[in-house]
A and B are shown apart, each in its own frame.
Chain A
Protein backbone atom coordinates (compact mmCIF):
# COMPACT_ATOMS: atom_id res chain seq x y z
CA UNK A 1 0.00 0.00 0.00
CA UNK A 2 2.47 2.55 1.00
CA UNK A 3 5.89 3.42 2.23
CA UNK A 4 6.42 3.94 5.93
CA UNK A 5 9.07 5.66 8.00
CA UNK A 6 9.48 4.89 11.70
CA UNK A 7 11.73 6.54 14.22
CA UNK A 8 12.16 4.67 17.51
CA UNK A 9 15.31 5.07 19.63
CA UNK A 10 17.22 1.74 19.30
CA UNK A 11 18.28 1.84 22.96
CA UNK A 12 16.65 3.22 26.08
CA UNK A 13 16.95 3.01 29.84
CA UNK A 14 14.21 1.13 31.70
CA UNK A 15 11.43 3.53 32.62
CA UNK A 16 12.59 6.21 30.22
CA UNK A 17 9.90 8.03 28.22
CA UNK A 18 10.71 7.72 24.53
CA UNK A 19 9.23 9.56 21.57
CA UNK A 20 8.05 7.54 18.58
CA UNK A 21 7.65 9.18 15.18
CA UNK A 22 5.73 7.58 12.34
CA UNK A 23 5.07 8.57 8.75
CA UNK A 24 3.22 6.75 5.99
CA UNK A 25 2.76 7.82 2.38
CA UNK A 26 -0.95 8.00 1.60
CA UNK A 27 -3.11 10.46 -0.40
CA UNK A 28 -5.76 10.75 2.36
CA UNK A 29 -8.35 11.52 -0.34
CA UNK A 30 -11.18 13.37 1.41
CA UNK A 31 -14.02 12.42 -0.95
CA UNK A 32 -14.86 16.10 -1.39
CA UNK A 33 -12.63 16.76 -4.39
CA UNK A 34 -13.60 16.39 -8.04
CA UNK A 35 -11.51 15.39 -11.02
CA UNK A 36 -11.26 17.32 -14.32
CA UNK A 37 -14.52 15.77 -15.63
CA UNK A 38 -16.41 16.84 -12.50
CA UNK A 39 -16.78 13.35 -11.06
CA UNK A 40 -16.27 13.03 -7.32
CA UNK A 41 -13.03 11.33 -6.31
CA UNK A 42 -14.02 8.59 -3.84
CA UNK A 43 -12.90 8.93 -0.25
CA UNK A 44 -9.79 6.94 0.61
CA UNK A 45 -8.16 7.71 3.93
CA UNK A 46 -6.26 5.83 6.58
CA UNK A 47 -8.85 5.67 9.36
CA UNK A 48 -6.97 3.72 12.00
CA UNK A 49 -3.44 3.65 13.34
CA UNK A 50 -2.41 1.30 16.15
CA UNK A 51 0.91 0.73 17.89
CA UNK A 52 1.61 -2.44 19.90
CA UNK A 53 4.59 -2.87 22.24
CA UNK A 54 5.39 -6.60 22.60
CA UNK A 55 1.79 -7.37 21.77
CA UNK A 56 0.18 -4.82 24.11
CA UNK A 57 -1.61 -1.88 22.56
CA UNK A 58 -0.02 1.39 23.70
CA UNK A 59 -1.47 3.88 21.22
CA UNK A 60 -4.48 3.98 18.92
CA UNK A 61 -5.67 6.82 16.71
CA UNK A 62 -8.88 7.19 14.70
CA UNK A 63 -8.12 9.48 11.79
CA UNK A 64 -10.58 11.57 9.80
CA UNK A 65 -10.41 13.51 6.53
CA UNK A 66 -8.90 16.50 8.35
CA UNK A 67 -5.58 14.65 8.69
CA UNK A 68 -3.14 15.88 6.05
CA UNK A 69 -1.86 13.62 3.27
CA UNK A 70 1.00 11.32 4.31
CA UNK A 71 -0.11 11.04 7.94
CA UNK A 72 2.63 11.91 10.40
CA UNK A 73 1.99 10.94 14.00
CA UNK A 74 4.29 11.21 16.98
CA UNK A 75 3.59 9.98 20.49
CA UNK A 76 5.31 8.76 23.64
CA UNK A 77 5.71 5.55 25.55
CA UNK A 78 7.63 4.26 28.57
CA UNK A 79 10.46 1.89 27.63
CA UNK A 80 9.53 -1.11 29.78
CA UNK A 81 11.34 -4.04 28.20
CA UNK A 82 13.36 -5.02 25.17
CA UNK A 83 11.30 -6.14 22.25
CA UNK A 84 9.38 -5.03 19.20
CA UNK A 85 7.06 -2.15 18.48
CA UNK A 86 4.53 -2.97 15.80
CA UNK A 87 2.69 -0.33 13.81
CA UNK A 88 -0.47 -0.93 11.82
CA UNK A 89 -2.32 1.44 9.50
CA UNK A 90 -5.75 0.53 8.05
CA UNK A 91 -7.38 2.44 5.19
CA UNK A 92 -10.96 2.73 3.89
CA UNK A 93 -10.44 -0.13 1.45
CA UNK A 94 -9.44 -2.41 4.29
CA UNK A 95 -5.83 -2.48 3.21
CA UNK A 96 -3.40 -2.85 6.07
CA UNK A 97 0.19 -1.69 6.15
CA UNK A 98 2.50 -2.76 8.92
CA UNK A 99 5.94 -1.81 10.13
CA UNK A 100 7.99 -2.72 13.16
CA UNK A 101 11.00 -1.51 15.10
CA UNK A 102 13.24 -3.19 17.68
CA UNK A 103 14.17 -1.57 20.96
CA UNK A 104 16.76 -2.63 23.51
CA UNK A 105 15.98 -1.60 27.08
CA UNK A 106 18.80 -1.65 29.59
Chain B
Protein backbone atom coordinates (compact mmCIF):
# COMPACT_ATOMS: atom_id res chain seq x y z
CA UNK B 1 0.00 0.00 0.00
CA UNK B 2 2.66 2.44 1.01
CA UNK B 3 4.59 1.48 -1.99
CA UNK B 4 1.56 2.04 -4.26
CA UNK B 5 0.73 5.55 -2.97
CA UNK B 6 4.34 6.53 -3.31
CA UNK B 7 4.36 5.55 -6.94
CA UNK B 8 1.09 7.45 -7.46
CA UNK B 9 2.62 10.62 -6.07
CA UNK B 10 5.60 10.17 -8.28
CA UNK B 11 3.38 9.75 -11.30
CA UNK B 12 1.33 12.84 -10.37
CA UNK B 13 4.44 14.93 -9.92
CA UNK B 14 5.72 13.71 -13.23
CA UNK B 15 2.41 14.57 -14.92
CA UNK B 16 2.29 18.07 -13.42
CA UNK B 17 5.88 18.56 -14.45
CA UNK B 18 5.14 17.42 -17.99
CA UNK B 19 2.07 19.69 -18.18
CA UNK B 20 4.18 22.61 -17.01
CA UNK B 21 6.79 21.97 -19.65
CA UNK B 22 4.13 21.71 -22.36
CA UNK B 23 2.47 24.94 -21.26
CA UNK B 24 5.78 26.72 -21.25
CA UNK B 25 6.52 25.42 -24.70
CA UNK B 26 3.22 26.76 -26.05
CA UNK B 27 3.49 30.17 -24.38
CA UNK B 28 4.53 32.85 -26.84
CA UNK B 29 8.03 33.78 -25.79
CA UNK B 30 8.73 37.51 -25.64
CA UNK B 31 11.66 37.10 -28.04
CA UNK B 32 11.08 38.71 -31.41
CA UNK B 33 13.34 37.29 -34.07
CA UNK B 34 13.86 39.70 -36.92
CA UNK B 35 13.36 37.68 -40.06
CA UNK B 36 12.42 38.42 -43.62
CA UNK B 37 9.96 35.98 -45.14
CA UNK B 38 9.32 35.00 -48.75
CA UNK B 39 6.50 37.57 -48.60
CA UNK B 40 8.79 40.40 -47.49
CA UNK B 41 11.26 39.33 -50.17
CA UNK B 42 8.47 39.64 -52.74
CA UNK B 43 7.62 43.08 -51.36
CA UNK B 44 11.27 44.13 -51.57
CA UNK B 45 11.52 42.86 -55.16
CA UNK B 46 8.31 44.69 -56.01
CA UNK B 47 9.71 47.88 -54.50
CA UNK B 48 12.91 47.68 -56.54
CA UNK B 49 11.68 46.50 -59.94
CA UNK B 50 7.96 47.25 -59.90
CA UNK B 51 5.17 45.21 -61.43
CA UNK B 52 6.94 43.97 -64.56
CA UNK B 53 7.05 40.20 -65.14
CA UNK B 54 10.32 38.44 -64.39
CA UNK B 55 11.53 35.71 -66.76
CA UNK B 56 13.70 32.77 -65.83
CA UNK B 57 17.06 32.56 -67.58
CA UNK B 58 19.99 34.65 -68.84
CA UNK B 59 21.18 35.10 -65.25
CA UNK B 60 23.63 32.74 -63.56
CA UNK B 61 23.73 33.04 -59.79
CA UNK B 62 26.72 31.18 -58.44
CA UNK B 63 26.66 30.31 -54.72
CA UNK B 64 27.83 27.03 -53.16
CA UNK B 65 24.66 24.98 -52.46
CA UNK B 66 25.99 23.82 -49.08
CA UNK B 67 27.63 26.44 -46.90
CA UNK B 68 29.29 25.81 -43.56
CA UNK B 69 29.58 29.39 -42.34
CA UNK B 70 26.78 31.83 -43.13
CA UNK B 71 28.90 34.84 -42.19
CA UNK B 72 30.83 34.90 -45.40
CA UNK B 73 29.67 33.19 -48.57
CA UNK B 74 31.22 33.81 -51.97
CA UNK B 75 28.57 34.80 -54.45
CA UNK B 76 28.86 35.78 -58.09
CA UNK B 77 26.28 36.78 -60.64
CA UNK B 78 26.75 36.77 -64.40
CA UNK B 79 24.25 37.80 -67.05
CA UNK B 80 24.29 36.63 -70.63
CA UNK B 81 24.40 39.94 -72.51
CA UNK B 82 26.49 41.34 -75.39
CA UNK B 83 26.90 44.61 -73.39
CA UNK B 84 26.67 46.87 -76.44
CA UNK B 85 25.37 50.46 -76.46
CA UNK B 86 21.89 49.25 -77.41
CA UNK B 87 21.69 45.96 -75.52
CA UNK B 88 23.17 45.88 -72.07
CA UNK B 89 22.42 45.06 -68.45
CA UNK B 90 21.38 48.12 -66.46
CA UNK B 91 21.26 46.61 -63.00
CA UNK B 92 21.50 43.38 -61.05
CA UNK B 93 19.63 43.00 -57.75
CA UNK B 94 20.06 40.14 -55.29
CA UNK B 95 17.49 39.22 -52.61
CA UNK B 96 17.12 36.64 -49.85
CA UNK B 97 14.15 35.11 -48.05
CA UNK B 98 15.17 34.69 -44.43
CA UNK B 99 17.75 37.26 -43.39
CA UNK B 100 16.41 40.08 -41.20
CA UNK B 101 16.50 42.24 -44.35
CA UNK B 102 15.45 40.93 -47.78
CA UNK B 103 17.92 43.00 -49.83
CA UNK B 104 21.50 41.88 -50.38
CA UNK B 105 22.98 44.11 -53.07
CA UNK B 106 21.99 46.17 -56.09
CA UNK B 107 24.64 46.92 -58.69
CA UNK B 108 24.29 49.37 -61.56
CA UNK B 109 26.30 48.90 -64.72
CA UNK B 110 26.35 50.05 -68.30
CA UNK B 111 27.78 49.10 -71.68
CA UNK B 112 31.22 50.16 -70.46
CA UNK B 113 31.33 47.15 -68.15
CA UNK B 114 32.06 44.91 -71.14
CA UNK B 115 30.88 41.93 -69.14
CA UNK B 116 27.74 41.87 -66.99
CA UNK B 117 29.14 40.12 -63.95
CA UNK B 118 30.23 40.84 -60.42
CA UNK B 119 31.11 38.92 -57.29
CA UNK B 120 31.06 39.64 -53.58
CA UNK B 121 30.74 37.90 -50.22
CA UNK B 122 27.40 37.73 -48.46
CA UNK B 123 25.81 36.69 -45.14
CA UNK B 124 22.92 34.29 -44.83
CA UNK B 125 21.01 33.79 -41.57
CA UNK B 126 19.45 30.47 -42.53
CA UNK B 127 19.04 27.89 -45.27
CA UNK B 128 17.01 29.68 -47.91
CA UNK B 129 16.52 30.72 -51.51
CA UNK B 130 18.60 33.52 -52.94
CA UNK B 131 17.25 35.33 -56.00
CA UNK B 132 19.20 37.41 -58.52
CA UNK B 133 17.28 39.64 -60.93
CA UNK B 134 18.86 41.42 -63.90
CA UNK B 135 17.32 44.53 -65.43
CA UNK B 136 18.17 44.85 -69.14
CA UNK B 137 18.36 48.02 -71.22
CA UNK B 138 15.14 47.07 -73.04
CA UNK B 139 13.35 46.92 -69.66
CA UNK B 140 13.00 43.14 -69.50
CA UNK B 141 13.76 41.33 -66.26
CA UNK B 142 15.52 37.97 -65.92
CA UNK B 143 16.21 35.94 -62.81
CA UNK B 144 17.92 32.94 -61.29
CA UNK B 145 17.19 31.31 -57.92
CA UNK B 146 19.52 29.14 -55.88
CA UNK B 147 18.64 27.21 -52.75
CA UNK B 148 21.44 27.44 -50.21
CA UNK B 149 21.81 25.22 -47.15
CA UNK B 150 23.63 26.97 -44.30
CA UNK B 151 24.93 24.97 -41.32
CA UNK B 152 26.22 27.84 -39.16
CA UNK B 153 23.98 30.87 -39.59
CA UNK B 154 25.09 34.50 -39.60
CA UNK B 155 23.38 37.19 -37.47
CA UNK B 156 22.85 34.94 -34.46
CA UNK B 157 26.18 35.30 -32.73
CA UNK B 158 26.55 37.62 -29.77
CA UNK B 159 29.49 39.86 -29.19
Contacts and interface: CB of A to CB of B under 8 A. Distances in A.
A62 B110 CA distance: 15
Contacts of A72: 119-121
A65 B101 contact: yes
A1 interface: no
Nearest to A21: B119
Interface residues of B, number: 34
A78 B85 CA distance: 13
Interface in A60-97: 60-69, 71-78, 80
Interface string A35-57: 11000010000000000010010
B57 to A, nearest CB: 21
Interface in B77-125: 96, 99-101, 103-110, 112-115, 117-124
B107 A59 contact: yes
B123 A78 contact: no
A61 B105 contact: yes
B72 A69 contact: yes
Contact of A66 (B99, B107, B109, B158): B99
A33 B71 CA distance: 13
Contacts of B115: 17, 76
B73 interface: yes
A59 B118 CA distance: 10
Contacts of A4: none
A5 B130 CA distance: 28
A34 B158 contact: yes
Nearest to A30: B155
B123 A62 contact: no
A42 to B, nearest CB: 12
A2 interface: no
A68 B71 contact: yes
A58 B72 CA distance: 26
10 contacts: A32-B155, A33-B157, A61-B106, A68-B123, A72-B121, A73-B118, A73-B119, A73-B120, A74-B118, A74-B119
Interface of A: 17, 30, 32-36, 41, 53, 56, 58-69, 71-78, 80
